[in-house]
Amino acid sequence: MQEPAVLVIGSGAAGLSCALRLAEGGQKVCVVSKGPLAGGSTLWAQGGISAVLDAEDSLENHIRDTHAAGAGLCDAEAVRFTVTRGARCIRWLMARGVQFSIDEADPRRRLHLTREGGHSHRRIVHAADATGLAVETTLCSLVEQHPLITALEHHVAVDLIKDPATGRIRGAYLLDIDNGKVHSQGASAVVLATGGANQVYLYSSNPNGASGDGIAMAWRAGCRVANMEFMQFHPTTLYHPDRRNFLISEALRGEGATLRLPDEDNTPGERFMPRFDSRGELAPRDVVARAIDHEMKRLGLKYVYLDIRHQSEAFIQHHFPSIYRECLTLGLDITRAPIPVVPSAHFTCGGVITNLDGQTDLAGLYAIGEVAYTGLHGANRLASNSLLECLVFGESAAQHILSQPPPPTAKYPLPSWDDSQVTDSDEEVVVAHNWLELRTFMWDYVGIVRTNKRLERALHRVRMLADEIADYYVNFRVGPDLLELRNLVVVAELIVRSAMQRDESRGLHYNLDHPETVAVATPTILPGRSR
């Protein structure tokens, strides 16, 4: 295809909103999606988008709550920048057709606002319990219809292409999954909107595509990464053999659902969260996940219960229709029975270092959304600040790109992908085995609670795997599973190395050998590989 002005890799809320804003500004855009355009993590987001819209709330309250959740590691400028743009991003979505839930009891029919853990006020704008679905499908429809946007579905980015003379990013190698061919795609700017790396763990609430592609590609190209030790585990994922990654939204706890231990007859027993935090079930996610993990290990439990039966059947069906229907298909009526839940890897708080315009260390390369480290989340993400971040930095990156003059003409032609020296693999089982081994030891050694010994073992194992995967990569033709595994092993090492550098416990990083929190908080920064 003809070279686009901007290559956006990823089609969640960050990528699609950025692409749409670029196109509305007159720029030609190409959006790359691993699967169908509407297949990113945003589609599965249940809770909502945090924004100050209530007269009883304030920007200062939202800023304070974000800093509290971030445990002293949030960047003050990034927090204020993001929070102050929340309301206008909601208005931008509504102007483009996103239908958010209305407060039926309000005669003025204003937006219904709910509350989640760590928030001092109701400020979560939502579309029932399927906010991501409403946002993603609306943006997809607009992107598909826009004449300046081309979508490349079922394509996987392999690596970034960097100009050897200037160091500027000029495009990316893309694998067409349908025909197995890799081609070079040039661009005046590349926007990484590839999401997080939560599939590095055995249990994750994310779809399979959350394999850290953008983080790994940017690091290999020379970008710094920060705070990779802070991997957020969502406290409440459904425990069921047929549905391992179904999230039970934090909004249930916002509406009074309680966490309870199973009694001997498997009925809900003691409510345990007040023993761990005065905020109970509305404590930040790291506190709740660690409390559940503690109780499960202490008592040898496979799960704990989340109980919302104090609410009426009509209330539950109206506010949580997707969760109600999904659980019902699995034989669980949440209006009559408690929900068995376990923690699972949910959000990557660290990532590729950027400024407030989404710019990375490399000219021509931007990173937005979960792939990026902006300083917003610190040591733990406040609930529903993630979609907010996607929208705010999708806007700021688009504005910066639109304000830039055309890049200088490259001195060298765009390189072609060379696979003349490789063969088709006859040992696909190696990829599957390494994938399972990596995710298992990351879960066991670098999970919710860590120790120095576990981290040392993890680093030894990850480097052995990295050598095996690198050897496999250079000898055989690439496929999507191999590319994701190659990226995951990079991200795994970045997580372990970052965790080993933090000699304290803070936010999402809890080390039994360093249980105290140091007085001065600083981010963990790792240099890019090519530096």
Q: Are the C-beta atoms of 305 and 338 separated by less than 8 Å?
A: yes
Distance CA 397, CA 355 (A): 10
Query: Which residues of the chain register pLDDT less than 70?
Result: 1-4, 44, 426-427, 530-531
- 5, 6, 29, 168, 459 from 408: Cα distances, Å: 13, 15, 19, 10, 42
What pLDDT is recorded for position 349? 96
Q: Which domains does the chain have, with CATH numbers?
A: 233-345 (3.90.700.10), 419-516 (1.20.58.100)
Q: Which residue has the tokens 């009559």?
A: 336
Q: What DSSP designation does 480 have?
A: H
Give the tokens for residue 406: 């055309």
Cβ count near 497 (within 10 Å): 18
Question: pLDDT tens, 317-333?
Answer: 999 999 999 999 999 99
Q: Which positions are catalytic?
A: 285
Q: Are the C-beta atoms of 189 and 18 separated by less than 8 Å?
A: no
What pLDDT is recorded for position 2? 53
Question: At 297, phi and psi to the nearest 5?
Answer: -70, -40
Distance CA 393, CA 107 (A): 34
List the end-to-end C-alpha distance of the chain, in Å, as a whole number: 32
Strands 155-162 and 169-176 come out as: antiparallel
Of 195, 133, 139, nearest to 389 (Cα)? 195
What pLDDT is recorded for position 1? 45
Tell me if the pTM is above 0.85. yes
Whether the CA torsion 518, 375, 447, 530 is positive or negative: it is negative
Q: What is the dihedral of CA 322, 327, 331, 337, to 10 degrees?
A: -120
Q: Are the C-beta atoms of 253 and 234 separated by less than 8 Å?
A: no
What pLDDT is recorded for position 4? 66
What pLDDT is recorded for position 426? 67
What pLDDT is recorded for position 241? 83
Tell me, what amino acid is at 360? T
